[in-house]
Amino acid sequence: MDSLLGKTTEELERLVQEMDHPAYRGRQIAAWIYRRGAETFEAMTDLPRELRMRLAERYVVGTLPVVRRHVAQDGTIKYLLALSDGQMIESVYLPYPDRVSVCLSTQVGCPAGCRFCATAQGGFARNLTAGEIVGQLLRMQSESARRISHAVYMGMGEPLWNYDNVVRSLRLLGREMGLSLRNLTVSTVGVVPGIRALARENLPITLALSLHAPDDVLRAELIPTARKWRLEEILDACAEYARVTGRNLTFEYLLIGGVNDSPEQARRLAHLLESKHLPGNVNLIPFNFVDTPQGYRCPSRASIARFREELERAGRVTTQRMTRGHAIAAACGQLRRIVTGGADARPEGAIPLPLSC
């Protein structure tokens, strides 16, 4: 049966009118789904019983059941959620003193093939619908006493390879659920056509570029699909995005010990961004251990500090991803691999690590 989750208020109005009910019933259904978190039609108590019965015959609300949840001492919760076709996706609940953020997936698996990512090792199955993307936030909100105000599209998948559903979900989070679009962040490995298209959507969101290397050769080793677009093309698209939207970007940089964490690479990274006159901060993300064929390892605290110092010396605002969820397999794809039999090992004495999603 078709899911109502993912439909706009206007679409729900037309749906009930086709069932010979007034349009305002559609607005009531939208409020029940997006504002009140109803999971069944029976819960929509201000609808006529006859309408609820007819809806239940043809539709489902479309909420996502929890397969497994892992809770960390810092309040981070990693969710494994089931989809209607039996596939599973991951989402992360991230409480902070001043806000609650969530990390959302956009695909089942990921076709980007990043060498350091557990999701990539699991392959790619399909895109998520807009309803399945929004449904992740609704599931986590249903279990949270605090209101979720921020969302980052940094979970499983490459958002801009699921462009239409991602844009639709952003509009749903804004219009239907009341989140500020300025509190939403979409991450990409550098899908140039998607970046240019997103610039013209009139969505005041933040775009985050997963950079991870200061040159094309190393970047192609870390992100095989990066070979499709050179860094110059990607950064030109980012510059267009900043110019059209007036929004600064965030540049995500995953630090892998002995691979891309040297002071010289930090200097080259700063020069690369400055050469394109790109505004925005660099967000450093120490590698969250995943057992890879390449044997990637965590960076030392000293190398992280040196890398950051070089960027700041070059005048680049630099942040570092807060340590969250290292005890609950919170990096993208880890929990799904554990449940499906591809568990990641964590080396004895591994330092606390932040999310890699």
pLDDT 10s digits, 110-138: 887 676 676 656 688 999 999 999 999 99
Residues 83, 197 contacting (CB under 8 angstroms): no
Q: Are 253 and 284 in contact (CB under 8 A)?
A: yes
Between 96 and 328, whose confidence is greater? 96
Catalytically annotated residue among 114, 238, 298, 332 = 332
Three-state secondary structure readout of 91-118: EEEEECCCCEEEECCCEEECCCCCCCCH
Does residue 354 register a pLDDT over 70? no
- pLDDT interval class at 320 (50, 70, 90): very high
207-260 pLDDT, tens per residue?
Answer: 999 999 999 999 999 988 778 899 999 999 999 999 999 999 999 999 999 999
pLDDT at 108: 95
Q: Phi, psi at residue 347, to the nearest 5°?
A: -65, 145
Question: What are the structural domain ranges in the chain?
Answer: 2-60, 66-339
Query: What is the CB neighbour count within 10 angstroms for residue 39?
Result: 18
Residues 168 and 119 sit within 8 Å (Cβ to Cβ): no
**Catalytic residue (one of 13, 39, 90, 310):** 90
pLDDT band at 301 (very low <50, low <70, confident <90, very high): very high
Q: What pLDDT, on a 0 to 100 scale, did the predictor assign at position 335?
A: 52
Give me the helix-helix angle, 231-245 and 263-275, nearest 10°. 50
pLDDT of residue 227: 81
- End-to-end Cα spacing for the chain: 32
Q: In the predicted model, is pLDDT for residue 355 greater than 50?
A: no
Reply yes or no on whether 332 is catalytic: yes
3-state secondary structure of 89: strand
d(CA 304, CA 65): 39
Report, as an integer, the average pLDDT of 73-100: 97
What is the distance between the alpha carbons of residues 357 and 104, in angstroms, rounded to a whole number?
9
Q: What confidence category does residue 345 fall into, taking pLDDT thresholds of 50, 70 and 90? A: very low
Say if residues 195 and 238 touch (Cβ distance below 8 Å). yes
Say if CB 121 and CB 333 are below 8 A apart: yes
For the segment 17-40, the average pLDDT, to the nearest whole number, is 98
Whether residue 349 is predicted with pLDDT greater than 50 in this model: the reply is no
Residues 189 and 209: their CA atoms lie apart, in Å, by 6
pLDDT at 202 over 60: yes
The answer to whether the beta carbons of residues 138 and 63 sit under 8 Å apart is yes
Provide the pLDDT for residue 295.
79
Mean of the per-residue pLDDT values of the chain: 89
pLDDT at 357: 31
**Binning pLDDT at 50, 70 and 90, where does residue 164 land?**
very high
Class of domain 2-60: mainly alpha
What is the reported pLDDT for 112?
Answer: 76
Q: Are 248 and 228 in contact (CB under 8 A)?
A: no
More confident residue, 194 or 339: 194
110 in catalytic set? no
pTM, 2 dp: 0.89
Q: Answer whether residue 356 shows pLDDT above 80.
A: no
pLDDT confidence of residue 123: 80
Please determine whether the domains at 2-60 and 66-339 fall in the same fold group of CATH: no
Report the pLDDT value the prediction gives residue 119, as an integer from 0 to 100: 63
Q: What pLDDT, on the 0 to 100 scale, is given for residue 1?
A: 87
Pairwise CA distance, residues 183 & 187, whole Å: 13
Cβ-count burial 298-323 (b if 16+ within 10 Å, e if not): bbeeebbebbbebbeebebebebbee
Residue 239 near residue 276 (C-beta atoms within 8 A): yes
Secondary-structure class of domain 66-339 per CATH: alpha beta
Q: Quick check: 324 pLDDT over 90?
A: no
Mean pLDDT value across residues 282-300:
84
Q: Phi and psi of 12, rounded to 5°?
A: -70, -35
